[in-house]
Amino acid sequence: MRQENNSENSILKRIFARAADSAENLAARAVRLGIGDDAALFRPRRGHETILTCDWFLEGTHFRSDQHPADAVGWKCLVRALSDVAAMGGVPRCFLLSLALPESHTGRWLDAFLGGLRRASRKFNCTLAGGDTTRCREILTNVTIVGEIREARAVLRSGARAGDVIYVTGRLGEAELGLRILRSSPGQMRPGNAMLKKHLYPEPRLAVGQWLAEKRLATSMMDLSDGLSSDLSRLCAAGRVGADVESGKLPVVQHSSTSRGAGVHPLHLALHGGDDYELLFTVRPSKVNMLPKAFRGVPLTAIGRITEQRGVVLLKQAGRERQLHPGGWDPF
Amino acid sequence: MRQENNSENSILKRIFARAADSAENLAARAVRLGIGDDAALFRPRRGHETILTCDWFLEGTHFRSDQHPADAVGWKCLVRALSDVAAMGGVPRCFLLSLALPESHTGRWLDAFLGGLRRASRKFNCTLAGGDTTRCREILTNVTIVGEIREARAVLRSGARAGDVIYVTGRLGEAELGLRILRSSPGQMRPGNAMLKKHLYPEPRLAVGQWLAEKRLATSMMDLSDGLSSDLSRLCAAGRVGADVESGKLPVVQHSSTSRGAGVHPLHLALHGGDDYELLFTVRPSKVNMLPKAFRGVPLTAIGRITEQRGVVLLKQAGRERQLHPGGWDPF
């Protein structure tokens, strides 16, 4: 943890006082804090590989500080990165937080941010081990997660084969609908409905991912961060395969007055909505009967099949079909 | 490695084509690429701890894209983080690159940036394993280094005891003088003199750090990133000790027409100049005779002693002394 001056030192002290685990917790995880030193030390368990992933969460690009509560920013910057560990089937161990802030946000905003970060850190059992803070005109966060998985158990994107059944966890499009609700509301608001909560405080599907990896049930897996149409295309490209998706099987958002009011079609949200952080995975036909309808309360839904022919095809009711092109979130 | 869309995919492909090691190199290091998947996998060696550190390098805060050549930005974003691994005595293994760019910088600028990054990656034997790219109004980089060190050999900041001799590597203040030369020059320029080179293309003191850790010669160590006055105060605070520094012993920049022209005093540069990425370390008196004058061409200079009394005192010629207060670089 680089410490650039005394005022930065005081910020670092607050970060660790509010967001870090107790020393006993750290010892149990074999993590030695990077605060007050140049780097953190981590002792991985025997027979395990280390999983490494990092993720941007930037004001302007990914959130707006006038609309997103600070504690949701703290929660989500960690969860986004945790979702990548879930998508390998891994167990998160610790994380590094890189935080750049305007001086105006080093007071109450930072406290609320750290509150959200700490709740996520505790809930998903991932300890703050170090990081770097500096000053910037905008709020910038970058989180690196260090996780573990038993050797050779990581589920890659590239393992899907023709005939495999395609599954998703949870419901698709809820976070996108939540974002639309947020945008149509004046100022900041606290999550009142489930869609908004899914946008502001998503949950990484760690338990499902770990179970699929441990039982060797998934042939390929990734998380849905940009939307099914974009992410399924990537999974297919990685495995040099294609996919047929049955639109009638997609676990779309439940129709409600809210979603109808937003004037968006549930199928469109399910295909192209980003930020769900659900898992997309494939299962050999012979193992499909080992999958329950839900795992620890999270629905597991078969939505189609992997094909030999490249490209993703959407099969609609009444036998119509069309090519599905990536239409998810796009920073460039 | 999150891939946010096709145009981002093409940027990622260029990053890996230009900056990544060959597959054989990766296999030798037991790193599995994070590109095209959600995360990278890393298999640490037995009997080793993993070192984790991350570091911001931001346009506006740390560099200016109108003054700093793109390849120097690529070089330096990696070296700054490597210096933290050197300061623990560790061996770098792989890194994650988080890069946010305006669309205007995804062409030639990015190519030059990746050129500098690749040179540093090869020279210091640290492989690109994954990362995250996105769009932003400014150029933002964050680098996470994953390194290794034999268990219980890491040199912490906190180990200095009264009587220990304080050492620094190299010369102090050169990078600060280089920055002043850069600022007084119109537009971008290529490094013509050693000071400018030290500012644009610093070298992490990995070999010295590893040797000190392996031989158990250093009782404490950190890297000099913000300037001796700031960093020595931190080393003393971590060990709850103080320090006497002899101004006459400091390895200041060599007087030259350039430095005289810049109108700055070498002692001031050595005390408060940032960005040198030299090592600051302490050695028990009984082991001082094991230290050569230089290690692999890098000078090792004793500059003072650790004291029981808190605070850093600068001892000047003719017996005068004064309290030395942190006067180094300060982002807030």
What are the structural domain ranges in chain B? 6-150, 157-323
Which B positions 85-104 lie with beta carbon below 8 A of chain A? Answer: 85, 87-88, 90, 94, 96, 98, 100, 103
CA distance A82 to A76: 9
> Is the Cα torsion angle B214, B215, B219, B220 positive or negative in sign?
negative
| Helices assigned H by DSSP within chain A | 6-19, 23-29, 70-86, 108-123, 174-183, 194-200, 206-214, 228-239, 257-261, 266-272
The DSSP bridge partners found for residue A88 are: none
Residues of B in contact with A149 (CB under 8 A): 41
Among B83, B95, B134, B144, the strongest candidate for a mutation testing the A interface, having the largest count of A CBs within 10 A, is B144
Q: What is the rounded distance in angstroms from the CA atom of residue B236 to the CA atom of residue B308?
A: 10
Contacts of B47 in chain A (CB under 8 A): none
Per-residue pLDDT of chain A (332 residues; tens, 9 = 90+): 444 444 666 777 777 777 666 665 666 666 776 667 888 988 888 889 999 999 999 999 999 998 999 999 999 999 999 999 999 999 999 999 999 999 999 999 999 999 999 999 999 999 999 989 998 999 999 999 999 999 999 999 999 999 999 999 999 999 999 999 888 876 555 556 888 999 999 999 999 999 999 999 999 999 999 999 999 999 999 999 999 999 999 999 986 655 555 568 999 999 999 999 999 999 999 999 999 999 999 999 999 999 999 899 999 877 888 889 888 765 65
CA-wise closest residue to A31 among A45, A17, A19, A18:
A45
Give the pLDDT of residue B261: 56
Give the β-pairing of A140-150 and A91-101: antiparallel
ipTM for the complex? 0.89
Strand order from edge to edge, sheet including A91-101:
A127-135, A91-101, A140-150, A48-58, B40-42, B31-32
Q: Which of A187, A300, A311, A293 is nearest to A243 (CA)?
A: A311
| Residue of A37, A55, A104, A205 to mutate when probing chain B, most B C-beta within 10 A | A37
In DSSP terms, which residues pair with A57 in a beta bridge? A141
Structure tokens that stand for B214 in this block: 């392996």
pTM: 0.91
* List of chain B residues with pLDDT < 70: 1-9, 19-30, 33-35, 186-191, 255-263, 329-332
**Structure confidence by residue, pLDDT tens digits, B238-285:** 999 999 999 999 999 986 655 555 568 999 999 999 999 999 999 999
Query: Are the C-beta atoms of residues B228 and B270 closer than 8 Å to each other?
Result: yes
Model pLDDT, residue B268: 93
Q: Tell me whether the CATH fold assigned to B6-150 matches the one assigned to B157-323.
A: no
Rounded Cα distance, A110 and A299, in Å: 35
* Any A CB within 8 A of B43 CB: yes
| Closest alpha carbon to A273 in A184, A171, A187, A205 | A171
Q: Are strands A311-315 and A242-246 parallel, antiparallel or unpaired?
A: parallel
User: How many angstroms separate the CA atoms of B274 and B296, rounded?
Assistant: 23
The pLDDT value given to residue A5: 43
C-beta separation of B34 from B129 below 8 A = yes
Residue B107 touches chain A, beta carbons under 8 Å: no
Q: What is the pLDDT of residue A37?
A: 83
Residue B2 has what DSSP assignment? B
Contact call for B52 and A61, based on CB within 8 A: no
Q: Which two tokens stand for residue A48?
A: 């395990």
CA angle B258/B260/B266 to nearest 5° reads 105
Instruction: Give the span between the Cα atoms of A165 and A245, in whole angstroms.
Output: 10
Greatest extent of chain A over all pairs of C-alpha atoms, in Å: 68
CB within 8 A of A309, min separation 6: which ones?
A242
Nearest partner of A86 among A114, A57, A55, judged by Cα:
A55
Match domain B157-323 to its CATH number in 3.30.450.20, 3.40.50.300, 3.90.650.10, 3.40.50.720: 3.90.650.10
Answer for the pair A51, B40: CB distance below 8 angstroms, yes or no.
yes
Q: Is B217 on the interface with A (CB under 8 A)?
A: no
Mark A8-20 as b/e (b = at least 16 C-beta within 10 Å): bbebbeebbebbb
The pLDDT value given to residue A150? 94
Interface of A with B in 281-310 (CB under 8 A): none
Distances (CA, A) of B263 to A11, B180, B191: 35, 10, 20
Quote the pLDDT of residue B257: 56
Q: Is A128 on the interface with B (CB under 8 A)?
A: no
Q: Are B96 and A54 in contact (CB under 8 A)?
A: yes
Tokens of residue B136, six digits = 């932003």
What does the alpha-carbon distance between residue A181 and residue A269 come to, in Å, rounded to a whole number?
13
Residue A150: CB atoms within 10 A of its CB come to 15
What is the helix, strand, coil percentage profile of chain B, to 5?
35, 30, 35
Neighbouring CB atoms inside 10 A of A25's CB total 13
| Rounded Cα gap, residues A284 and B48, in angstroms | 38
Distance CA B53, CA B144 (A): 6
Alpha-carbon distance of B257 to B259, in angstroms, equals 6
Residue B156 forms contact with A (CB below 8 Å): yes
pLDDT of residue A16: 73
Looking at the DSSP bridge assignments, the partners of residue A294 are A299
Residues of B in contact with A223 (CB under 8 A): 38
Q: What CATH fold (topology level) applies to the domain A6-150?
A: 60s Ribosomal Protein L30; Chain: A; (3.30.1330)
